[in-house]
């Protein structure tokens, strides 16, 4: 009896210890996975919204440096004539910007008098402070002459357009803007719905909010109460009707500049059964451990194997199987620091597939994916092992070429451009790409400086007719 009791105590201690270790391990796996997914989601957002930054800043620069416009502000006294002149001059620019959701553009005098609303050119002569403020991404600049402010320029991109871009890019996800109620007190309430997460938050333009999302939010309301008011990025997993979801909360102020920290969140909902498999796996391992004492050693092996899997998930693009943006940023910064330290050349190439949206629209997203995979494989087999090749998102790719100056970088880009042009993939008639190339300079502080120059060069390549290489130093 005593021996049986001893074995019983030993077995009980094993169950407690092994069960505790197993539980901690699986909670850690879930935490690691959620953390990697959160970083990936934030990277997707920034890449998706990069178009807004490029277009808005380019337009602001163009109009704020227009010498004829400055002269017109100083000589033209009739506001109606000035307004019509500006609208006629920039009408084509405005039509182009409006295709990307940049529709609300205001020009107004320092005293607040409106000179022109591009979206409503007939309405002038009122004050900017009487305008209905609309929640959105705001860009601002001035038209000045010798430090004298002649006029102000304000661009407002409503969040609804940002949400539409995400829906087009990732149609399998649901997106909502969650706004703190104190920022709605000065705005129209049309299109706002009180959130189930907390009564102090409202959804922005969510008239067709599905019952599935409402149920998920009611389940989340108590779970995220503390995190919701931290205004830091976080994500949580939740189960409903046998389906697991990951819900992401990214503060709007982290995505766009010049917005209050506690404005609210961009919330996204994604089906993800991998979380469920982690939970289920806990019971499988636990029961196996009760039957086989050696399961503890098996768990250690299993843990190391999973760790490698998570690292791979966090560094490889799932579609093209090449390096993703998160891993590229890590590797690129290392190469940048090394090149700066030893004064070595380093070239940065960015390219994207021309008219990729037309390919998707004409042949379907499945063919679009095949194009991305074929381009990735072709480029991967055409560069050196020391070159770092990654997908930045969508149809955009980057190459970092160590020990390569701007001449070599341009030659490499031209070589790849020709190789891509030779790709044959029925039924797509022709595949081309535009390239932006730059190299490291003494004035560069980090890898982002190279990316910005290369991105501007890419924009110029697109503007000059596509399927070409443009270099910017």
Supply the residues annotated as catalytic: 395
CA atoms of 145 and 70, how far apart (whole Å): 7
DSSP-derived 3-state class of residue 65: coil
Query: What is the residue-wise DSSP string for 311-361?
Result: HHHHHB-TTT-SB-HHHHHHHHHHHHHHHHHHT--EEEEEEEETTHHHHHH
Q: Which residue has the tokens 């190391």?
A: 304
- Interior/surface letters 123-146, b for 16+ CB within 10 angstroms, e for the rest: ebeeebeebeeebbbbbebebeee
CA dihedral of 436, 439, 445, 446, whole degrees rounded to 10: 60
151, containing H or E segment: strand 148-158
CA atoms of 323 and 167, how far apart (whole Å): 24
117, containing H or E segment: strand 114-117
What are residue 34's phi and psi, to 5 degrees? -65, -40
Closest C-alpha among 209, 194, 267, 210 to residue 236: 267
CA atoms of 109 and 127, how far apart (whole Å): 9
Side-chain-facing half-sphere of 130: CA atoms under 13 Å: 9
Give residues with Cβ within 8 angstroms of 270, minimum separation 6.
172, 173, 245, 246, 247, 248
- Rg of the chain (C-alpha set): 27
Beta-bridged to residue 248, according to DSSP, are 235, 268
Contact (Cβ atoms closer than 8 angstroms) between residue 105 and residue 77: no
CA atoms of 252 and 382, how far apart (whole Å): 40
Query: What is the residue-wise DSSP string for 207-254?
Result: TT--HHHHHHHHHHHHHSHHHHTTTS-EEEEEEETTEEEEEEEEEHHH
């Amino acid at each position: 009896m005593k021996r049986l009791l001893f074995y019983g105590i030993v077995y009980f201690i094993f169950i407690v210890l092994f069960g505790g270790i197993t539980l901690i391990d699986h909670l850690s796996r879930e935490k690691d996975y959620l953390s990697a997914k959160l970083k990936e989601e934030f990277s997707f957002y920034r890449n998706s919204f990069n178009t807004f930054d490029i277009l808005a800043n380019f337009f602001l620069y163009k109009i704020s440096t227009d010498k004829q416009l400055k002269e017109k502000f100083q000589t033209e006294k009739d506001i109606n004539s000035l307004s019509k002149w500006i609208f006629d001059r920039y009408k084509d620019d405005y039509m182009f910007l409006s295709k990307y959701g940049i529709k609300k553009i205001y020009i107004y005098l320092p005293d607040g008098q409106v000179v022109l609303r591009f979206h409503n050119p007939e309405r002038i002569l009122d004050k900017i402070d009487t305008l209905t403020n609309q929640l959105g991404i705001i860009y601002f600049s001035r038209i000045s002459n010798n430090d004298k402010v002649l006029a102000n320029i304000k661009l407002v991109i409503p969040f609804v357009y940002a949400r539409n871009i995400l829906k087009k890019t990732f149609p399998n996800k649901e997106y909502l803007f969650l706004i703190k109620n104190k920022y709605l007190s000065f705005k129209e309430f049309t299109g706002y719905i009180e959130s189930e997460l907390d009564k102090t938050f409202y959804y922005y333009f969510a008239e067709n909010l599905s019952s599935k999302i409402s149920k998920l939010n009611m389940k989340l309301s108590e779970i995220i109460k503390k995190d919701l008011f931290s205004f830091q990025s976080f994500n949580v997993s939740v189960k409903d009707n046998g389906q697991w979801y990951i819900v992401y909360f990214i503060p709007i102020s982290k995505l766009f500049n010049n917005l209050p920290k506690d404005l609210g969140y961009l919330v996204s909902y994604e089906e993800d059964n991998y979380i469920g498999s982690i939970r289920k796996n806990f019971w499988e391992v636990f029961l196996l451990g009760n039957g086989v004492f050696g399961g503890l050693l098996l768990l250690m092996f299993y843990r190391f194997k999973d760790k490698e899997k998570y690292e791979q998930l966090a560094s490889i693009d799932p579609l093209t199987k090449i390096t993703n943006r998160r891993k590229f940023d890590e590797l690129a910064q290392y190469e940048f620091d090394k090149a700066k330290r030893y004064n070595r050349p380093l070239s940065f190439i960015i390219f994207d597939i021309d008219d990729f949206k037309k390919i998707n629209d004409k042949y379907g997203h499945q063919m679009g994916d095949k194009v991305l995979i074929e381009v990735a494989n072709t480029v991967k087999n055409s560069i050196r092992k020391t070159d770092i090749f990654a997908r930045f998102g969508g149809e955009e790719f980057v190459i970092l070429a160590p020990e390569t100056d701007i001449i070599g970088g341009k030659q490499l880009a031209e070589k790849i451009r020709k190789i891509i042009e030779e790709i044959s993939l029925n039924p797509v008639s022709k595949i081309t790409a535009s390239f932006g190339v730059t190299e490291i300079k003494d004035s560069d502080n980090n890898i982002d400086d190279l990316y910005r120059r290369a991105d501007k060069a890419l924009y110029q390549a697109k503007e000059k007719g596509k399927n070409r290489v443009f270099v910017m130093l």
